[in-house]
Amino acid sequence: MKIRFCEHNKGKGKIFRQLEEEFPDVSIKIKKCVKQCGACRETPMAVVDKKKITGRDGDELYRKIVELIRSAGSTTD
C-alpha cells in the first residue's frame, strides 16, 4: 500500500507521523505535489494507492486511512 501526502496540504505532518509510527511497513511519503490541487487546497487529503481520500479534518482523514490499511489485511506493499 502506498500513501502520499502533498507538502502543501494543511495538517499532513501530524497524520504522517502518526501513520509512520503505527504502520512502519507501509510506504508513506510527503511529495511536492500529488496532482489533486483542487481538493488539496480545500480539505485534508491523501492519495492511497492512487485513490484520493479526504476528511472533514485531520482526525477523520487519519481514521479513513487506518480503516483502509486494516481492511487491506496487510501492512506491506
Question: Which CATH number fits the domain that encloses residue 67?
Answer: 3.40.30
Domain assignment present for 77 = no
74, pLDDT greater than 60: no
10, pLDDT greater than 70: yes
Least confident of 10-19, 37-46, 57-66: 37-46
Range of the domain at 38: 2-72
pLDDT for position 77: 45
Count how many domains the chain has: 1
For the stretch 39-44, contacts whose Cβ atoms lie closer than 8 Å and that sit 24 or more positions apart, written own/partner, are: 40/6, 40/8, 40/9, 41/8, 44/9, 44/10, 44/11, 44/12, 44/15
What is the average pLDDT value for the chain, to the nearest integer?
Answer: 89
Taking residues 53-77, report their average pLDDT.
86
Domain assignment present for 53 = yes
Domain assignment present for 8 = yes
Q: In terms of pLDDT, which residue wins out, 42 or 56?
A: 56
Domain assignment present for 61 = yes
